[in-house]
Chain A
Amino acid sequence: MRVRAWRRHMVPYLLIAPAIVYLALFFAYPMYEGLVLAVYDEDAVLPVRAEPTLDSAEVAEIPQGGALLILDRQSQAMIDDDGATDLLTEQWFRVSGTGDTGAAVDGWVSEARIRVRSEDAAGNPLAGTVRPRLGQSADPLTDVHAEPNDRSGVVGRLEQRAPVEITEVAVLEVWFLVRPADDPGEAAGWAPSRYLQVFDDGERGRVHRGTAGEFTTAFIERMVDDRFFGPALRTTLLIMALLIPLQLVLALVMALVIHARIRLSSGFLYVFALPIGMSDLAVGILFFSIFTGNGLLNSVLDGLGIIDGPFAFLTAETTNWIIFAIVLAELWRATSIVMVILVAGLQAIPDETLEAAELFGAGYWQRVRHIMLPLLRPSIQVALILRTILAFQVFAVVIALSGGDVVTVLANESFRQYYDLRNDNVASAYALFILLLSIASAVFYLRSVRAESEVRPT
């Protein structure tokens, strides 16, 4: 019995489980992954280790781009290839021959010590000789190691120019013992070549790519310092300031016309709502065709004799006209969304409430002012929030009318950073900025146009 009751209580949770999974998987997770790029540098620091292996302890972290002194090098078996392209490798050969003591020797020698003398058809080395060491103090013998690794034990030694058979080849990655160049006190540590850039002299270099992430404001600073940031923000705010009041008033008038239930009012609804069905890019192109050099507007003005020859509205010298065209296009395109919200709000007002107002002597405008507008406040609030957030995202219309250079907006800058400049961190910083502005505006509306609980129609 208890189990059954428990199951019954679980039913609502089971029912919403898909929604929660959906939200987590397709909303929260991608959003987090996308936005974290703005403040988190995945390649920020490179940890260096006590030994040239990945499982040895970290001794220091060097930031990406940090200058290095290279103290030593060593080859190690290749670690997992994480798409590294610029790693430095070294081959080791397993050789067998006769050692300096006359005994047979079988072990590993670096390719630097062996001159390959013969290869098979596929280019694999078959045999070679030990390279001689130059210089008087140099050890004339070459160590043969048990493993393809300098640190492994020496199993024998070969005389210079001794012939050897090559039975196996191992590819190793070079590790460097490095220390930050500007901080000699810092401990030196080992790092694989794939994360480093070694300069020609072989003694200095820099960290090419870190492996550990770090939170950073660098991308946000880069966004703010970007030369398009200021114009984009100003234009976005200007478009909003022009658009939203106009849209609200226009949408209110349209909603009242529909709500008045006069003849043809349902026809008005269809006409008003038509632009909702059009893509914003299509609307942008439509208005481009109106404002362009040989466009509709110029044809009409020319035909009426108002201007003499086409006027170029959409040029770098006439950005005000471009902004005017953008506002007009957005007004045409998106006012009906606001209208639909307001119509729904008006329809939620009970007929008897409006009839009561009429009966108690309120004329139409008095009913609008004293009854409809106050009761519409929650709807107006929703419409304003929605409209402002959409205004921060205005993009396709701007691209269509300005090409995205002469007049630019925040969303366009995000696009430019991501697509043209391939900088997904700064693109994400723009996206984060737009998100924060949207949240801030929503909070602003919720506070300033506060919907008192009393306003809800009962």
Chain B
Amino acid sequence: MAEIRLEHVTKSFGDKVAVHDASLTIADREFLVLLGPSGCGKTTLLRAIAGLGMADSGRIAIGGRDVTYLPPGRRQISMVFQSYAIFPHMTVRDNIGFGLLMNKVDKAEISRRVNSAAELLHIEDLLDRRPSAMSGGQRQRVAVARALAMEAKVLLMDEPLSNLDALLRLEMRAELKRLLADVEATTVYVTHDQIEALSMGDRVAVMRDGEIQQCDAPNTVYESPSNRFVGSFIGNPPMNFLDGTIRRSNGGVVAAVAHHEFSPAAEVRPLIEGLRGDRVTLGIRAENMETLTDPGPDTVPARVEVVEPLGAQNLLTVQVGGRLMKVSTHPTLPVAVGDGLHIRFPADQIRWIDPATDKVLYTR
């Protein structure tokens, strides 16, 4: 069992608070991704788990053992560094076996584990070479093999793919996912790449300015962001946001955006009624709207400003009541710049956001 519990972890560098009051429980053998823009504190949080920067306050427990004040070498963890941090003066074999040697594992066992880790990453041929003559991808494999050979209960990865070129990154992403599925370790994976996060993680913890914004399964984070930041950070293109005005009429409540009134779904209605002001923000993803050439019930007229054909879809930038938004359409839909369109907003795809707090009112 290697459940990781973070309780109110805070870490600052001088005046700058890097991680603020982060609490998180990572289940045994879970793959958790820490996702956020650069400077959001995700690496700091990972390093706090690793013990490479003592937390200022809060508690960190691994497998029920309080490790808050333990040095990294005694936390029984293993890690892949962003720069790989391969030891340049050692052969690949010595690099992979280094942790085992330091932990006084006996020679035969070291040799067995080094070989099997090398086999997993297909670097058996490189075992007696030194890292200086290796490509970035090969070094990356050595770094992963070194981490896996430890057979630690906790595996930490700090942007392991960020130094690879795009093609290699794609290939390595799939391979890492395959590898880590077989490894029975609780994995914390830091990245700023949302595709990586969504495609690899059991859960994704989105961070911003040192705080965890949302921690959910990839689909939930995508479909049902907890606030405006998560909605705009995740997804390409980001979620569309429309500012509307709340109108209360004959017992019902509607949001008016550009001469159109949107009626909230039944479960959201009381929450909107409870809002203080009369402003509300509607969030909707580009692929969740229907584009029609003819007006119909519940459609909003729009004008096409930009057409970006992306192969599997066309991404349109349309103007709705003076606001720009992105809509993705089927590539066969014949549109040109300047055309008029009609867009339908399905009620269950609209996320209602309180503009005062930027929080999504209802998350499922």
Contact = CB atoms under 8 A, between A and B. Distances in A.
Nearest to B146: A360
A309 interface: no
B132 A456 contact: yes
B78 interface: yes
Contacts of B82: 352
B269 interface: no
Given A355-B85, A458-B88, A453 B132 contact: yes
Given A374-B89, A457-B88, A360 B83 contact: no
A363 interface: yes
Nearest to B47: A355
Interface in B90-134: 90, 98-99, 102-103, 130-133
A360 B52 contact: no
Contacts of A152: none
Given A362-B102, A363-B73, A357 B87 contact: yes
A350 interface: yes
Contact of B103 (A358, A361, A370): A361
Interface string A360-372: 1111001000110
B81 A352 contact: yes
Nearest to B129: A454
Contacts of B33: none
Contact of A455 (B51, B89, B99): B89
**Which size class do A's interface residues fall under?**
20 to 34
Given A360-B102, A360-B146, A350 B85 contact: yes
B154 to A, nearest CB: 11
Interface in A336-384: 350, 352-353, 355-363, 366, 370-371, 374-375, 377
Interface string A416-458: 0000000000000000000000000000000000001111111
A355 B52 contact: yes
B89 A375 contact: yes
B131 A359 contact: no
B235 to A, nearest CB: 32
A215 to B, nearest CB: 47
Given A353-B85, A361-B99, A454 B73 contact: no
Would you call the interface of chain A mostly helix, strand, loop, or mixed? helix
Contacts of A352: 81-83, 85
A358 B88 contact: no
Interface residues of B, number: 29
Contacts, number: 78
Contacts of B88: 353, 375, 454-458
B77 interface: yes
Interface string B303-343: 00000000000000000000000000000000000000000
Contacts of B51: 359
Interface string A222-265: 00000000000000000000000000000000000000000000
B130 A359 contact: no
Nearest to A374: B89
A435 B86 CA distance: 41
Interface string A11-45: 00000000000000000000000000000000000
Which of A356, A377, A455, A457: most chain B Cβ within 10 A? A356
B150 interface: yes
Contact of B98 (A350, A355, A370): A370
A355 B81 contact: yes
A360 B113 CA distance: 15
Contacts of B146: 360
Contacts of A371: 87
B237 to A, nearest CB: 35
A361 B87 contact: no
Nearest to B91: A454
Nearest to A373: B89
Interface in A274-321: none
B99 A360 contact: yes
A361 B73 contact: yes
B50 interface: yes
A363 B104 CA distance: 12
A349 to B, nearest CB: 9
Contacts of B238: none
A452 B91 CA distance: 12
A233 to B, nearest CB: 37
A366 B104 CA distance: 12
A328 to B, nearest CB: 35
B360 interface: no
A357 B97 CA distance: 11
A352 B78 CA distance: 14
B58 interface: no
A42 to B, nearest CB: 53
Contacts of A353: 85-88
B79 interface: yes
Contacts of B81: 352, 355-356
B89 A358 contact: no
B70 to A, nearest CB: 12
B72 A359 contact: yes
B291 to A, nearest CB: 49
Contacts of A375: 88-89
Contacts of A350: 83, 85
Which of B73, B103, B131: most chain A Cβ within 10 A? B73
B71 interface: yes
Nearest to B80: A356
Contact of B85 (A356, A366, A453): A356
B150 A360 contact: yes
Contacts of B98: 357, 360, 362, 370
Nearest to B73: A361
Nearest to B104: A361
A356 B150 CA distance: 13
A358 B52 contact: yes
A370 B82 CA distance: 21
Nearest to A360: B99
Contact of B71 (A358, A366, A374, A458): A358
Nearest to B88: A458
B102 A454 contact: no
B159 to A, nearest CB: 12
A458 B131 contact: yes
Given A355-B85, A361-B103, A454-B130, 14 more contacts: A352-B82, A353-B86, A355-B72, A359-B50, A360-B73, A360-B150, A361-B73, A362-B98, A363-B73, A370-B98, A371-B87, A454-B131, A458-B88, A458-B132
Interface of B: 50-52, 71-74, 77-79, 81-83, 85-90, 98-99, 102-103, 130-133, 146, 150
27 contacts: A353-B86, A353-B87, A355-B72, A355-B81, A356-B81, A356-B85, A358-B52, A358-B73, A359-B51, A359-B52, A359-B73, A360-B73, A360-B98, A360-B103, A360-B150, A361-B74, A362-B98, A363-B73, A363-B102, A370-B98, A454-B89, A454-B130, A454-B133, A455-B89, A456-B132, A458-B88, A458-B132
Q: Which 6 pairs from chain A and chain B are nearest by CB?
A: A360-B99, A361-B102, A356-B85, A352-B85, A454-B130, A374-B89
